[in-house]
Amino acid sequence: MNLRSLSTSLLVLTALWSVSGCGTSSGTGSAGGSASTTPGKKIKIGVSVPSADHGWTAGVGYWAEKAMAMYPDVEWVYKTADKPETQIADIETMMTGELDGLVVLATESAPLTPVAKAAHERGIYIVNVDRGFLEPVADVFIEGDNEAFGRKSAEFVVQKLGGKGKILVLEGIPSTVNTDRVNGANKVFQANPGVTVLESQSGMWNRQKALEVTQAMLLKHPQVDAIWASDDDMALGAEQALKEAGRQNVWILGGAGMKDIVKRVMDKDPVFPANITYPPSMIATGIHLAVSNLRDGKKDDIKQFMPRHMKLDVELITPDNAKDFYFPDSVY
C-alpha cells in the first residue's frame, strides 16, 4: 500500500537516531532497541483511533496493532472509538495514567481539539494522523493529500476515457476529507469539457449505500462509461449495482488501495483498471514516529528539526506497479 511512506518514515528514523547519537538499527523492527531506553522506565503511549466502521478504518486498526507489536518494550494503551464523545472519554482516561505520548486519528476534528490541547498542555507528545486538530497542539501531524487523491484519480479517468465520456460520481461522508477529494476531482473534470459528470451523489463510504445510490443513478442514465467511486468500499457497491443491472463495459475507479481491488488491478480486471493509494498504514507511521521520538528522552532536541506537518503523497496504482501495493495479509 505505502512502501514509500513507510520507507520515508524509516529514513527519517534512521536520520534521527544517527543525529541523536544512538545508531540502533531501525530496520529490524524488533524489540532489540530496548537497550537504548532508560532501564526500569517504560515509556507509555496512548493510541486512539476510530472503530472499524468501514474497510479503511479496519485497515487503520490492523496497522496500528501491527506497529504496536513491533515495540513490546513500550507500554501501550490502545482504544477504538465509534464517536467523538467516546474518543474524548478514552483520551481523558488515558491521561489519568502517566502518559508520555499520544497518537490520535480523530473521529472528528473539532470536538477532539480541546482534549488534545489539554494533553498537549500536560507535556504529552502528540502525533496527529489523517484528520487534523483545529489548533496547532500536535507535535507532528501526518495526513494524506486528499486534494491530490481527487486530482490524480480524476486525471486517470480523463486519460482512460480519452478525454470524452460520461461518468457518475460517488462522494463519501460529508467531511473535509471528502470535500478536498471531490473538489480536486471536479477541477480536473471541469477542465475537460469532453467528460460529462452525469450525476454526483453520496454513497457515505459504505458498500450497501453505494449500491443503492448507484442503482438509482444507473436507471436514470442509460449511457455511462465509468464511475469515479473515490473509495474501494463504494467501488464494490457500485460493481454490485452494475451486475444487478446487467450493465457491461462500465469501469470503476475506487480508491485507498483495498487489497482485493489492488489484486484485481494487478490481474488486469477490466472493471478495475487502476486504483489510488490512501494508506491506512499512516497510523503505523505515526506510532513509529511517536516511539522513535520518545524512547531516548530527547524529544525536545528532536523537535528542533522534526517537521510538524507531513503530507503523504498518494499514488496511482496500475497493473504495472500493483504488486508494490498488494499486502495479502492485511485486513484491508
72 φ, ψ to 5°?
-70, -15
Q: Within 10 A of 236 (CB to CB), how many other CB atoms are there?
A: 22
Strand, coil or helix: 266: helix
Q: Measured from the CB atom, is 187 or 243 closer to another protein?
A: 243
* Site mask for another protein (CB under 8 A), range 82-111, x = bound: ------------------------------
Return the range that interacts with another protein (CB under 8 A); candidates 7-15, 149-157, 159-167, 200-208: 200-208
Reading the block at residue 164, the C-alpha cell is: 470524452
Give me 166's grid cell: 460520461
Q: Tell me, what amino acid is at 61? A: G
Residue 78, SS3 per DSSP: strand
Strand partners, 79: 48
Taking CB under 8 A as the rule, does residue 219 contact another protein?
Answer: yes
Among 75, 145, 199, 301, binds another protein (CB under 8 A): 199
Q: Under the criterion CB under 8 A, does residue 240 sit at the interface with another protein?
A: yes
Shortest CB 31 distance to another protein, Å: 23
**Count of other CB atoms within 10 angstroms of residue 40:** 5
For position 216 contacting another protein by CB under 8 A, the verdict is yes
Backbone angles phi, psi at 125, to 5 degrees: -75, 120
Binding flag, residue 169, another protein (CB under 8 A): no
Exactly one of 27, 123, 246, 328 binds another protein (CB under 8 A); that residue is 246
Using the rule CB under 8 A, is 215 a contact of another protein? yes
How many helices (H) does the chain have, and how many strands (E)? 11, 12
Is residue 179 within the footprint of another protein (CB under 8 A)? Answer: no
Nearest distance from C-beta of residue 66 to another protein, angstroms: 12
158 vs 168, beta carbon nearer another protein: 168
Pick between residue 148 and residue 250 the one whose CB is nearest to another protein. 250
Note whether 61 binds another protein by CB under 8 A.
yes
> For another protein, which stretch binds (CB under 8 A), given 19-27, 145-153, 214-222, 298-306?
214-222
Q: Of 108-116, 133-141, 244-252, 286-294, which segment contacts another protein by CB under 8 A? A: 244-252
Q: Which is nearer to another protein, 169 or 294 (CB)?
A: 169
- Alpha-carbon distance of 125 to 120, in angstroms, equals 7
Q: Tell me the C-alpha distance between 223 and 171, whole Å.
A: 20
The answer to whether residue 19 forms part of the interface with another protein (CB under 8 A) is no
In the chain, alpha helices (H): 3-19, 55-69, 84-96, 109-121, 146-160, 176-191, 207-220, 232-245, 259-266, 282-294, 299-303
Q: How many residues of this chain bind another protein (CB under 8 A)? A: 36
Contact 230, 171 (CB under 8 A): yes
Q: Is 322 helix (H, G, I), strand (E, B) or coil?
A: helix
Q: Is 201 in the site for another protein (CB under 8 A)?
A: yes
Closest CA to 115 of 124, 186, 51: 124
Point out which residues bind another protein (CB under 8 A): 51-55, 58, 61-62, 80, 174, 199, 201-202, 204, 206-208, 211-213, 215-217, 219-220, 233, 236, 240, 243-247, 260, 331-332
